[in-house]
Chains A and B, each alone.
Chain A
Amino acid sequence: GDSVTQMEGPVTLSEEAFLTINCTYTATGYPSLFWYVQYPGEGLQLLLKATKADDKGSNKGFEATYRKETTSFHLEKGSVQVSDSAVYFCALNTPQGGSEKLVFGKGTKLTVNP
């Protein structure tokens, strides 16, 4: 079945450091890919998405490119801030039997220190 693998956390960085969180996927067909962010005590929020190969999603300084050849969707940010501390989830969406379900990775906790 479809699956998402993302790097194990936790990740601890200093403010202004470069961030990469790796995400690879296995899917039949042509999935859409997503990054969600969960701040402490809150639900998940969509951070960015890409719906076809070579698309780049971007938001709040974060970027991820849909790489079909390597089945990857790595999240990057050039200069992290303390406010970026959160749990990040990679996910994919494929239609199955007429309904759509998201498949999530297990999440990567990021802590940014001042």
Chain B
Amino acid sequence: DAGITQSPRHKVTETGTPVTLRCHQTENHRYMYWYRQDPGHGLRLIHYSYGVKDTDKGEVSDGYSVSRSKTEDFLLTLESATSSQTSVYFCATQTSGYNEQFFGPGTRLTVL
């Protein structure tokens, strides 16, 4: 399994506060992704990265920003958290081509 860790694993925060979630990988995979998982919606892509400092938006990017200053780290920031951002967030990595993605264990975020 690809070595993917996410931190924190659980977080409770208040509306309007900034939140940063971290994804760290040890496999030197080129591509990294942030998803959110909500009941009835499956997984939805928030942002992804195809290299250091190269990122792009997914289907639900509003209210989120990302940064990737090193191959191994991909940060997801909620500038001002809202209750609609309560979700489980998954990070994933991929080498390239038609390959599978490897997922981290997830972060459960609750915004009160």
Contacts and interface: CB of A to CB of B under 8 A. Distances in A.
Q: A and B from one assembly?
A: yes
Interface of A: 31-32, 34, 36, 42-46, 49, 51, 89, 93, 95, 98-102, 104-107
Given A43-B106, A106-B40, A51 B98 contact: yes
Contacts of A31: 98
Given A43-B103, A44-B103, A98-B50, 20 more contacts: A34-B100, A36-B103, A43-B106, A44-B43, A45-B103, A46-B100, A46-B102, A89-B42, A89-B43, A93-B100, A95-B98, A99-B31, A100-B99, A101-B48, A101-B58, A102-B33, A102-B101, A105-B42, A106-B41, A107-B43
A51 B98 CA distance: 7
Interface residues of B, number: 25
B3 interface: no
Provide the main secondary structure of the chain A interface: strand
A102 B32 CA distance: 12
Interface in B28-81: 31, 33, 40-43, 45, 48, 50, 56, 58
A97 B105 CA distance: 29
Contacts of B45: 101-102
